[in-house]
Structure 1
Amino acid sequence: MNKLKSTVIAAAITTVFAAPASAGVTIFSDNFDSYSPLALNWTPPVASGWTVSSGTVDLIGTSFIDILPGNGNYIDLDGSTSNSGVFANSVNLTGGVTYTLSFDLAGSQRGSTETANVNFGTASTSATLGSSAGLTAYNLNFTPAASGIYSFNFENLGGDNIGLLLDNVSVSAVPEPETYAMLLAGLGMLGFMLRRKANV
């Protein structure tokens, strides 16, 4: 009997932790802290996947124009050429799966209210922040109809060399509803077996 209980408890634990590969998996993440040197009108390394088009962005922070101290490196979305760039990257997505683009934006810290447009596949949003706003978390969901490479990008509106500050960009698969049901069922089974074991 004890062997049977152990088997059921092990099965419950397996059910709880054996979520599908697409459940909550982070497929892209960048906080910009690994890049050096920091620079105005930054050119991202090819290996990073980041591109800048139609203008410029600045990589600042840490020990170079650190206007948001304590946050490592971050991107000023309006570079230093009076022409803000489109800051973009791309990821390989599976059709029918919902993905979340997560990112932090902060105000310019230099006296201006700024707006940035964000696109992820066919989804889009915009954010407007006052100058003194600290890093604020945003999410944008996108479900591709077919598998393939999809881009995400950030573009500050205007071109006065003062933009919103971008940090902590990631893309993750959203857990499917059946994943939550499986986790709850597994936890319920585990609780039931532990309660029975305690009463024996």
Structure 2
Amino acid sequence: MLQQFNVVVSGNLTSTSHVDGRSYVGLNANGGDYVQHVNDTPASAYAGLTVGGTLSGNVHVNGLGLVTGGDANGINVNSGASYVGGSASGSSFNGDAWIVGAANGGNFNGGIHAASYANINVNPGRVLAAPTGAMTSTLAASTSTNFGAVMTGLSSQLSAMHATDGTKVTYSNNDSNVLLSGKAVNGVLVFDLTKEDSKIFSSKVTDISFNLTGASTVIFNTDDSDLSLYANFNQAQTLGSKLIWNFAGHNNSVTVGRTFGGQVLVADGTFSNVGGANVEGGVFAKTLNQYGEIHLQSFTGTVPTAPVPEPETYAMLLAGLGVMGAMLHRRKKQG
């Protein structure tokens, strides 16, 4: 999920901005400009935009096609095959389009099928007898995964991980500057911010920076239910592909008002990037209110399948192995 998608929303999405890569919306989507960077988007069986319900509000899909389970109203698909499970009105399709319901108004510049046609422009006028292979593939993918359950499971998995020994949250300049620092174990660095999140994500903080020694994967666990950050986020573009922010609070709300870096996981709540605040990473949430760009920074790290042992745990393990080795050596000599 973190590699294939730029955005996954299990519920509803509202957007006035663009998403660089692939998006999935479980319910309804209103507005937005999707798959801005077609060539940089990782390969997947999914369409460029998949919507479980209705799609409306001057939507643009720049490539890799579309699947929507409901109606499509006022949308433009620049390339790729499209499957619309309802009716399509006032929409343009530059690739093949299969409309289960009626096609009313709009332009069709590839093959077309609809239950009925009214006021449409068709070029070249090729009628499809059946969904194409591309449509069949993306349609099958669209219902293959319960992303709500995937996000909830991932959030629980991350929350169970122990904080890496030595991680620190340092405040300065009357608590307006925050430094998150630590040294990774096997490339993984885990922060437990459950006692700090309301202080970090507050209007008082104006600058947040990082010192993440040896880390290729960094996980920040929080559990507060209402968080907002309007601070300068240092190294957002550099760190975006390494960081996972696990906002694990129940029915929570997370708002950022300036550029933010990392994969944002709000499995049971709403994420909002407001005032044109960009996200350098990805957004994976129950609900998304998008008023800033979401740039493609696919996750390049590795999520451990078990809690990361702290350095002293390794020391104890090695000491235990040493004792066992000595005991076996003595037994062999006695034998």
TM-score between the two structures when normalised by the length of structure 2:
0.24
Bigger Rg, structure 1 or 2: 2
Instruction: Tell me: higher relative CO, structure 1 or 2? Use CA pairs within 8 A at least 6 residues apart.
Output: 1
